[in-house]
Amino acid sequence: MTSESMNVGALPRARSCAVLTHEGGLHARPAIKLTQLAKRFESAVWIALAEQGPWTDAKSIARVMAMKTPHMATLYFVAEGEDADAATSALANLVESDFADDDNGR
Amino acid sequence: MEGDATAVICLRGTPVSPGLARGPLIIVADDTQSASREGGSAEEEAARMHAAIASASVELETLMERAGDDDAQTILAFQVAMLADPVVAEPAFAAIGRGDRAEDAWRATMRLQIRHYHEADDLYFRARASDLRDMRDRVLRKLNGVAATPIAPGSIVVATDLPPSRFLEIAWDGGGVALRHGSPNSHVAMLARSRGVPMLIGVEDADLCGHTEAIIDTDNAILVLSPDDKLAVDFASRQQGAEILRAEAERYLNVAAATANGERVQILINVADATELDAFDPAWCDGIGLVRTELMLRDANDVVSEEKQYQSYCRILRWANGRPVTIRTLDAGGDKPVAGYTIDGEANPFLGMRGLRLSLLHPEVFITQLRALARAALLGPLKIMVPMVTSPRELDRAGALLDGAVAALRRQGIGCARPELGMMVEVPAAALAIDLFEADFLSIGSNDLIQYVTASSRDSSPLAPLQDPLQPAVLRLIREVVQRAEAQGISVSLCGDMASDVRCIPALLGVGLRSLSVAPSAVARVKAAIARYRVNEPKE
């Protein structure tokens, strides 16, 4: 995982990335977790399969599922807002921990 | 046949969830057809759309609360999350703004999204199309103001297809499902299996008019409409028999397996995916006799990393909690091709590059797996088993690679242990000269052994009669392997389908096997069959 902060324009901006080790890819269960986490932040959060985009709204389950992300893809996150830094590192952590939480991500 | 509702009809289908069920017949028709209706103003239509989505969400959330298991909850949570996402209905609201009726706008919007999933290359994403159809229809029923056909507990439900959320609404209580379409891999088939609801798919079409009662019989793969007295009596006695067997088997689940005269038999389980272990109590078995690892290689560019493999092996060892765990190295080839790894275009893949032969051809993939296994061996009694061994040299080479992997880990200061290295006995050449192999343990792979001994392909149904596992040629060979292993003081088990087949248990115990590795679902019945067997009795 890499994470960096930037300060372009008025709002703080941050990026991160992580490899999707979840078996089978970004399926419904991990995608629900990812969008739910993204929605907890005030910042606008985007997700992409390449460093240069195209970018997808990480708070939309429909858009995130439509990416049909395969196993071992690298996911890139960009956030813009007061809590951008926290958002991008939380999302990268979630992916990196294989969506682990109270129920082991399953 | 008109008016003659008492005439018995038997319709053939394909069982996807086993069992016997009898009850009132309920035919679930497509209840999402919209009546012709003058559309209201754009505001009115948008309000109807909002209300239908909200009310469908409430229903799904209620279902989710009582769904109980994880799979059911995920299926429903996905639909709830989609309905809560404004992106989903956005095009529908745009169409409503242009003057469309809500139901037409919703249908058109969902058609595009369903098609997007339906066209996916990945099977998982393609299967989500049916979840979206399920969600579309629930909202459509709300828009049309129709309630779903009520289904009484214990009914036999006949439908073209049954969406998973509908399945979860029904109190099954001894009922069953017969679908004209359907797939064994669908969510609804999976739910039926996990809840023990008998289910047939691909059932023949017929006029069901006038029938009020039905039987689902997956032993005979039939749906019987309006069973007569003779069929009903036969059904009742078979159902009672099945119930007695099941109850008897359940009593054995928690008890260590032993024959009628008290001789202990080791019962191990076969596992393909660590998630299978969630519902299985380790105390029900003596360990794991076969962990398949084919899931770790999708194509040559997609080998699961050493770290990831290590973690999944650790998870299994922690579950086993000190019981032995035998992990089989990658067994690709044959009927399990892997792009870029197996050899394309082999005239006879079952006699070609597969199992250990391929591992020795791609040592980098093999060594990654051996490293992960040696590391995980610190957590408990992990054993490594190599498949498709034909000559002692192959096993020696695998052993040398394992020694090398262990030495390299130690040089790097990474904690590891050298696991025992055993082999599958599935090639006749190995079975007939098993004393020449320096294996730490043996496991007989009866599926391939039978295929190779009888020179008949496993996937050919006309050849099935040649593949009787109880024929003398197979049993003599198994006895030979068991006796040689005993003479050399190494352990031997059997992990093919034979071990899960209760008809084969007396014969396997008869040739001297005292360790069997079976499907988790077969543990109770195999233990019950062992308990009925008396050692030294004439064979049944």
The 10s digit of each residue's pLDDT in B516-527 is: 999 887 898 899
Average pLDDT, chain A: 83
For the ranges A49-58, B294-303, B465-474, the lowest mean pLDDT is seen at B294-303
Residue at B66 is within a domain: yes
Instruction: Give B274's contacts (C-beta < 8 A, 6+ positions apart).
Output: B312, B315, B316, B319
Residue at A101 is within a domain: no
| B78 with A28: Cβ contact below 8 A | yes
Whether residue B381 sits in one domain with residue B308: yes
Whether residue B319 sits in one domain with residue B236: no
Residue at A81 is within a domain: yes
Whether residue B258 sits in one domain with residue B111: no
- Per-residue pLDDT, averaged over B280-293, amounts to 92
Q: What is residue B8's predicted lDDT score, i.e. its pLDDT? A: 87
Give catalytic status of residue B209 as yes or no: no
Residue at B240 is within a domain: yes
For the ranges A34-43, B7-16, B247-256, B450-459, the lowest mean pLDDT is seen at B247-256
Q: In this structure, which amino acid lies at residue A34?
A: L
- Closest-CA residue to B395 (of B449, B446, B357, B433): B357
Q: CA quadruple B70, B76, B78, B80: dihedral positive or negative? A: negative
Average pLDDT, chain B: 88
CA distance A73 to A90: 18
Residue at A103 is within a domain: no
Specify the number of domains making up chain A: 1
Q: Read off the tokens for A23.
A: 């078996």
Whether residue B414 sits in one domain with residue B483: yes
Q: In this structure, which amino acid lies at residue B207?
A: D
Residue at A47 is within a domain: yes
Looking at per-residue pLDDT, the higher value among B539 and B419 belongs to B419
Residue at B492 is within a domain: yes
Cα B81–B86–B89 angle (5° rounding)?
Answer: 100
Looking at per-residue pLDDT, the higher value among A10 and B107 belongs to B107
Residue at B35 is within a domain: no
Query: A70: nearest CA in chain B?
Result: B122
| B77 with A28: Cβ contact below 8 A | yes
Whether residue B407 sits in one domain with residue B376: yes
Q: What is residue A106's predicted lDDT score, i.e. its pLDDT? A: 34
Q: What is residue A101's predicted lDDT score, i.e. its pLDDT? A: 57
Whether residue B373 sits in one domain with residue B282: yes
pLDDT above 80 (res B335): no
Whether residue B270 sits in one domain with residue B395: yes
Q: Is the ipTM of this complex over 0.90?
A: no
- Evaluate whether B197 touches B17 at the Cβ level (below 8 Å): yes
| A71 with B298: Cβ contact below 8 A | yes
Residue recorded with tokens 């032969």:
B357
For the ranges B60-69, B223-232, B294-303, B352-361, the lowest mean pLDDT is seen at B294-303
Q: What is residue B2's predicted lDDT score, i.e. its pLDDT? A: 43
Specify the number of domains making up chain B: 3
Percent of chain B as helix, strand, coil, to the nearest 5: 50, 15, 35
What confidence tier does B23 reach under pLDDT thresholds 50, 70, 90? very high
| Domain limit, last residue, from B244, B277, B294 | B244
Whether residue B452 sits in one domain with residue B308: yes
| Domain limit, last residue, from B189, B213, B244 | B244
Query: The domain that contains A31 carries what CATH number?
Result: 3.30.1340.10
Radius of gyration of chain B from its Cα atoms, rounded to whole angstroms:
27
Nearest CA to CA, how far is B284 from chain A (Å)? 23
Cα atoms in the 13 Å half-sphere on the side-chain side of B283: 3
- Evaluate whether B12 touches B204 at the Cβ level (below 8 Å): yes
Residue at B342 is within a domain: yes
Residue at A50 is within a domain: yes
pLDDT above 70 (res B269): yes
Whether residue B525 sits in one domain with residue B431: yes
Print the domain residue range for B98: 42-144
Print the domain residue range for A52: 2-96
- Sheet containing A74-80: order of strands: A2-6, A13-19, A74-80, A44-48, A56-57
The answer to whether residue A86 neighbours chain B at the CB level (below 8 Å) is no
Give catalytic status of residue B495 as yes or no: yes
Taking each helix axis from N to C end, the angle separating B102-118 and B42-67, rounded to the nearest 10 degrees, works out to 50
**Chain B partners of A32 at a C-beta cutoff of 8 Å?**
74, 77-78, 81
Whether residue B128 sits in one domain with residue B177: no
pLDDT above 90 (res B193): no
Query: The domain that contains B111 carries what CATH number?
Result: 1.10.274.10
Whether residue B484 sits in one domain with residue B340: yes
The 10s digit of each residue's pLDDT in B322-334 is: 999 999 999 988 8
Q: How many CB pairs under 8 A join A and B?
A: 53
Residue at A104 is within a domain: no
The answer to whether residue A33 neighbours chain B at the CB level (below 8 Å) is no
pLDDT above 60 (res A56): yes
pLDDT above 60 (res A2): no
Whether residue B331 sits in one domain with residue B400: yes
What confidence tier does B298 reach under pLDDT thresholds 50, 70, 90? low
